[in-house]
Chains A and B, each alone.
Chain A
Amino acid sequence: MMIWRFRRLIAAYGADPARWPPGQRGRAEALLARSPTARALLAEAQAFDSLLLADAKPPADEQLAAAIMARTIDLPQERAPAPARAVGLEWSLSRLWPQAVGLAAAAVLGLVVGWADLLPGNFAGGEAIDLSDLVAGGVDDDGGSLL
């Protein structure tokens, strides 16, 4: 550490190495070990620190702690915000249930229709259905529109 940096260090944090930024403490102490100028600066800063520390604050009165405890007896705690929900599955189900119901209904209808087509009577005498009849705009055997 250069002397100018050491001078700045104690100008900011004072003479106690415990108050120096940890990353600079070792280099500052190494400088102190080899530099009389640094030691003189430190001694001068120690005297000033002692003066500043003459302004000691007395500990808090125990009654203050008791007063704080007493004031919280009737003080409600704020409700914590709702925790973040697992949006993926819940969001999907809430949005997709109409489609799921529709899909299930279609499946049931398909089973019913399929079951009806598989009855023996349909194989025996039933007429074949031309699917085109069921399509809008389809034509009948005469070429006329079914609609």
Chain B
Amino acid sequence: MTDATDEDLMMRIGNGDRVAFGELVRRHLNKAVAVAQRVTGSRSDAEEIAQEAFLRVWSKAPSWRSAEGEFRAARFTTWLYRVVVNLGIDRKRRPAMSALEAAGDPADPRESALHAMEKAQLSARVAAAVATLPERQRAALTLCFYEGLSNREAADILALSPGAVESLLVRARRSLREALAGVAAEFLEVSP
């Protein structure tokens, strides 16, 4: 099962194979949540989006076998990320429901309290800066920089040309440099 490609698993899921579905969830849930969290800026929204995306995987898998065009031609990850990014952008456009999550993620209890707090604060400041980017810049940065997709894969997901993705990335990083200029100075002082 672990040797099977994502596309093989989709074929099995299309036949109602729940073991194959569990394997696909295991492989891609973390990335789906991370992408959704960067796009929306909210962990709880990201978890809901990941659930919605995987429920779509389950319900639409039978079409994977026989469908033509966009659904079947795409790699599974391209299709999944496209669903997650689009759901995230839709969610982000809604009015914000909670400001509590701007504080960032809970600290890892294994780290010292002070270091964990500094790390959490730094993470929250970077996340806040990323959250201010226009949605397509944020999505391009998430896919290419944070998730390591090629610019061609990101272009497929965002329905743009690779050149357009590169332009989005340049603008995103330039904006972040400006937004994080003070943070960067502090960070460079304390980091080895």
Contact = CB atoms under 8 A, between A and B. Distances in A.
B65 interface: yes
A98 B21 CA distance: 50
A21 B150 contact: yes
A75 B58 contact: yes
A13 B168 CA distance: 11
Given A65-B25, A76-B59, A78-B59, A60 B144 contact: no
A2 to B, nearest CB: 16
Contacts of A78: 59-60, 62-63
Interface in B139-173: 144-145, 148, 150-152, 162, 166-167, 169-170, 173
A72 B37 contact: no
Given A18-B148, A81-B67, A11 B173 contact: yes
If over half of B's interface residues share one DSSP class (helix, strand or loop), that class is named, otherwise mixed; here it is helix
Contacts of A48: 173, 177, 184
A77 B10 CA distance: 12
B54 A51 contact: no
Contact of A54 (B16, B50, B67, B187): B187
A12 interface: yes
Interface residues of A, number: 39
Contact of B30 (A18, A51, A59, A80): A59
Closest 10 CB pairs of A and B: A55-B126, A80-B62, A12-B169, A57-B34, A60-B33, A72-B58, A54-B122, A12-B166, A60-B29, A80-B66
Interface of B: 14, 16, 18, 21-22, 25-26, 29-30, 32-34, 37-38, 47, 50-51, 54-55, 58-63, 65-67, 105, 119, 122-123, 126-127, 130, 144-145, 148, 150-152, 162, 166-167, 169-170, 173-174, 176-177, 180, 183-184, 187-188, 191
13 contacts: A12-B166, A51-B126, A51-B183, A51-B184, A51-B187, A54-B122, A57-B34, A57-B105, A60-B47, A65-B22, A65-B29, A77-B14, A80-B65
